[in-house]
Amino acid sequence: MSAMVDTAPAHPVAPARDEGRASAPWALAAPALMLFLGVLVIPLAMTVLLSFHDWGQYKGIEPVLILKNWHEIATDPYYLEMFGRTFRIALLTTLITAVLGAPEAYILNRMAGPWKSFFLLVILGPLLISVVARTLGWALLFGGNNGLVNKLLMSLGLIDAPLPFMFTETGVVVALAHVMMPFMVLSVWAALQRLDPQIENAATSLGAGSFTIMRRIIMPQIMPGVLAGAIIVFSLSASAFATPAIIGGRRLKVAATLAYDEFLNTLNWPLGAAVAVLLLVALVLIVVGSNALIERRYAEVFR
């Protein structure tokens, strides 16, 4: 009621000012819009265009529009294998972070004040360190005969040969899960924050045991958080470069490292662009698709 009274005097002068107001949002958004166009849309369009250009060992890039690169990607099973590996690694990483990260977030949420902030820092700590440094840490622990853990296990006589870690998919997945864990924990933690603090007591008073409370009450409510975290982790893992480059190396290529090599080693920019564009399109489709599914599933409950 009072709001209506407040805005009423503004009406008589409205027509003259409305025109100015209509263009104001555009003017205000212009700087950000220009930046968006300049650094994202235009380079992206150029990359897409580049993927249709021709390339030869001696002639370099020829600005023509042909489907050669796309044809090569579609027919050569090497690319299928490489993309399969990329998404397999991303999926496994997502599963591991979900299975470990969700309980981690729950325990973190139950902790008392000072411990909570301490362990939150421990969980977020990896984000403050360069991905390269973190990944090289894994290499120091498991890298061949000289890896710290391998040395220890071998000198204890528990294993005869060093554990295969470097240049294996397992190694890439483990290192990636470590790098991605904070994103999952934070996402689930945000969902836990929205939980009614009395909800467990309510379920207890109705006769539910702790396992039932977890399965029937807590899990369904933090599921949107887990799924949101999964989308973040999946897309970051599928497009990750540093970790697969260090652990996987040249032998175990994923989409990002392959695109890098095409650009900087083979100098076949058009093919690298095609790989990059395909990765982008596949990721966008997967993320948008799963997001739509999640929204539809939880619309009734959380909107």
Partner 1 sequence: MSFLELDRVGKRFGPTTVVDDFSLVVRKGEFISFLGPSGCGKTTTLQMIAGFLDPSRGAIRLEGKDLTAVPPAKRGLGIVFQSYALFPHLTAAENVAFGLEMRRVPRAERGERVRATLAMVGLEGFEERYPRRMSGGQQQRVALARALVIRPSVLLLDEPLSNLDAKLREEMQIELRQIQRNLGTTTILVTHDQSEAMSLSDRIVVMSQGRIEQIGTPQETYERPATTFVSQFLGKTNDFAAEIDRGTAPARLIAGSWSAPAPPGVAGPVTISVRPERIGFGEAGLTAAVVTRIFQGNHWLFQCDSECGPAIVIRQNDGTPQPAEGEAVRLTWRTEDMSLRARGSV
Question: Which residues contact partner 1 (rule: CB under 8 A)?
Answer: 196-199, 201-209, 212, 216-217, 220-221, 300-303
Please state the closest distance from residue 104 (CB atom) to partner 1, in A.
22
Backbone angles phi, psi at 51, to 5 degrees: -65, -15
Query: How many CA atoms are closer than 13 Å to the CA of 235, on its beta-carbon side?
Result: 18
* Closest to 114 (Cα-Cα) out of 106, 105, 122: 122
Residue 39 or 199: the one with the smaller Cβ distance to partner 1 is 199
Residue 109 or 221: the one with the smaller Cβ distance to partner 1 is 221
Q: Are strands 60-62 and 54-56 parallel, antiparallel or unpaired?
A: antiparallel
Backbone angles phi, psi at 60, to 5 degrees: 70, -155
Please state the closest distance from residue 243 (CB atom) to partner 1, in A.
36
Residue 182 or 224: the one with the smaller Cβ distance to partner 1 is 224
Residue 169 or 200: the one with the smaller Cβ distance to partner 1 is 200
Tokens of residue 282, six digits = 């596949």
- Which secondary-structure segment (H or E) carries 296? helix 269-302
Please state the closest distance from residue 115 (CB atom) to partner 1, in A.
17
d(CA 78, CA 8): 69
Residue 131 or 226: the one with the smaller Cβ distance to partner 1 is 226
Please state the closest distance from residue 299 (CB atom) to partner 1, in A.
10
Please state the closest distance from residue 213 (CB atom) to partner 1, in A.
9
* Closest to 87 (Cα-Cα) out of 242, 250, 285: 285
Residue 249: exposure state from Cβ atoms within 10 A (0-12, 13-18, ≥19): middle
**Could you tell me the CA-to-CA distances from 52 to 56, 94, 256, 276 in Å, in that order?**
13, 33, 19, 13
Please state the closest distance from residue 205 (CB atom) to partner 1, in A.
4
d(CA 94, CA 97): 5
Please state the closest distance from residue 62 (CB atom) to partner 1, in A.
58
Residue 17 or 194: the one with the smaller Cβ distance to partner 1 is 194
Residue 33 or 206: the one with the smaller Cβ distance to partner 1 is 206
